[in-house]
Amino acid sequence: MKTQVAIIGAGPSGLLLGQLLSNAGIDNVIVERQSPEYVLGRIRAGVLEQGMVDLLREAGVAERLDREGLVHDGFELAFNGRCEHIDLKGLTGGKSVTVYGQTEVTRDLMQARQANGGITLYGVGDVKPQDMDSDQPYLTFTHQGQPVRLDCDYIAGCDGFHGVSRQSIPTHKLKEFERVYPFGWLGILADTPPVNDELIYANHPRGFALCSMRSATRTRYYLQVGADERVEDWSDQRFWDELKTRLPEAVAQRLVTGPSIEKSIAPLRSFVVEPMQYGRLFLLGDAAHIVPPTGAKGLNLAASDVNTLYRILLKVYREGRPEAIEQYSAICLRRIWKAERFSWWMTSMLHRFPDTDDFSRRMQETELDYFVSSEAGRRTIAENYVGLPYEDVS
Ligand code: APR
Ligand code: PHB
């Protein structure tokens, strides 16, 4: 088999890159370890920056997003008995975010790929990127029990944090940066009306809580829990009781509860690998970086990596400029580190840490008070939350 760009992984990164390339007439094949149903069964984040919405529109996959996505012009920060509104739109000259589940983004991308006849091989085994440091790289894998060799010009590693792409780069060529937080997020999905029009991020002495949503009738709530907690120990009743305790009283009073339709615990981690490229192999999305979910940046960073690689590949194929690939890692990392900083800062400000003493607690409250009391502070939060600009490629 032969293609121009071989893409490993059919999550949002791989599918979005594939869609943009196919629209531009650049041939690509996606290979995915799991089945389509498995990929769609994963419940992930749901806040899209304007830049990602624009990219999905450019890719021609935003019809349902434009119809069903909930545009949010602000969010609430609750701490110390206060509930402070961050006016994203007013503070950023008109920018906002769109609430639309990652599962739905993935579903729309899968349908578009099926419609345009793009090849995605699901259920492949033992994928191995080969000869990435030559100008004739290829992938080997098994498909339906048969060994396959896929020759290509470039390989896009869109295979998430546990994927094979990053692991196939010689370790002495990479530097990893990591912080693992001493807690996780317990999330539930329920068919209940949202407690508030906007998201609420709450700092409480018992730990962080987040009120989010997927639609006017479906909610997503999270609680900070200990790193060693088990989901079996959290009945729906226990979850709702604890959530009510951590929310401002007026909000807790109007919370509508109901049976959960999904419940899971996710660890919190910050991770970056440098560089994000080895020869003709590029790393995108979770394969190269992880952020804690507190700033809603994970999916959005995947989109900005895709944007950068797509524009670079346009230079390569349309302008005959293969050297354009050398910019990839540096452009991506500048934006990634800023989102890493914001996610780490939001996490640090809003969670209860095991070693938080009275002094640290006052510092956290004062930091929040300082930021929301100053126009500059609010603007800093808002411009990061709506997403920093995408950098041009040259
Ligand atoms: N071979 C083939 N496919 C693989 C392999 C492999 N060895 N390893 C992993 N995959 C597939 C996974 O099954 C998955 O479908 O790669 C895909 C990676 O998808 P995601 O983990 O969703 O990563 P990505 O596409 O980068 O999505 C961005 O940002 O913060 C997050 O929640 C956000 O998941 C989202 C991510
Ligand atoms: C979500 O809706 O799942 C969500 C929203 C905001 C976040 C994280 C997750 O910061």
Q: Which residues are 30's β-sheet partners?
A: 7, 120
294 CB under 6 A from ligand 2? yes
- Whether 45 is covered by a domain: the verdict is yes
135-150: per-residue pLDDT in tens? 999 999 999 999 999 9
User: pLDDT value at position 42?
Assistant: 86
Whether 201 is catalytic is yes
Question: How far is the C-alpha of 324 from the C-alpha of 21, rounded, in Å?
Answer: 16
Ligand nearest to the CA of 305: 1
Q: Which residues are 72's β-sheet partners?
A: 97
User: Which candidate, 278, 380, 268, 288, places its Cα nearest to that of 332?
Assistant: 288
- Whether 95 is covered by a domain: the verdict is yes
Candidates 286, 297, 308: which one to mutate for ligand 1, based on the most atoms within 8 Å of Cβ?
Answer: 286
Catalytic hit among 12, 72, 129, 221: 72
- Whether 37 is covered by a domain: the verdict is yes
- Whether 253 is covered by a domain: the verdict is no
User: pLDDT value at position 122?
Assistant: 98
Tokens at residue 338, please? 């800023």
Ligand nearest to the CA of 342: 2
3-state SS class at 217: coil
The answer to whether the beta carbons of residues 365 and 77 sit under 8 Å apart is no
Ligand nearest to the CA of 8: 1
Mode of pairing for the β-strands spanning 47-49 and 97-99: antiparallel
Tokens at residue 196, please? 């508030």
User: pLDDT value at position 43?
Assistant: 82
Q: Match 């005959």 to its residue by tokens.
A: 320
- Whether 256 is covered by a domain: the verdict is no
The answer to whether the beta carbons of residues 110 and 36 sit under 8 Å apart is yes
User: Which candidate, 344, 301, 367, places its Cα nearest to that of 181?
Assistant: 344
User: pLDDT value at position 275?
Assistant: 98
162-203: per-residue pLDDT in tens? 999 999 999 999 999 999 999 999 999 999 999 999 999 999
Pocket lining for ligand 1, CB < 6 angstroms:
8-14, 31-34, 39, 44-45, 102, 124, 127, 158-160, 163-164, 285-286, 298-299, 302
- Whether 163 is covered by a domain: the verdict is yes
The answer to whether the beta carbons of residues 371 and 378 sit under 8 Å apart is yes
Whether 317 is catalytic is no
Question: How far is the C-alpha of 157 from the C-alpha of 13, rounded, in Å?
Answer: 9
Whether 385 is catalytic is yes
pTM value is 0.97
Total count of domains within the chain: 1
Question: How far is the C-alpha of 289 from the C-alpha of 109, rounded, in Å?
Answer: 22
- Whether 229 is covered by a domain: the verdict is no
220 CB under 6 A from ligand 2? yes
Residues of the chain with pLDDT under 70: none
The answer to whether the beta carbons of residues 252 and 240 sit under 8 Å apart is no
User: pLDDT value at position 355?
Assistant: 86
- Whether 164 is covered by a domain: the verdict is yes
Question: How far is the C-alpha of 101 from the C-alpha of 112, rounded, in Å?
Answer: 17
> CA 386, 329, 150 angle in degrees (round to 5)?
110
Range of the domain at 355: 5-177+269-386
CATH number at residue 30: 3.50.50.60
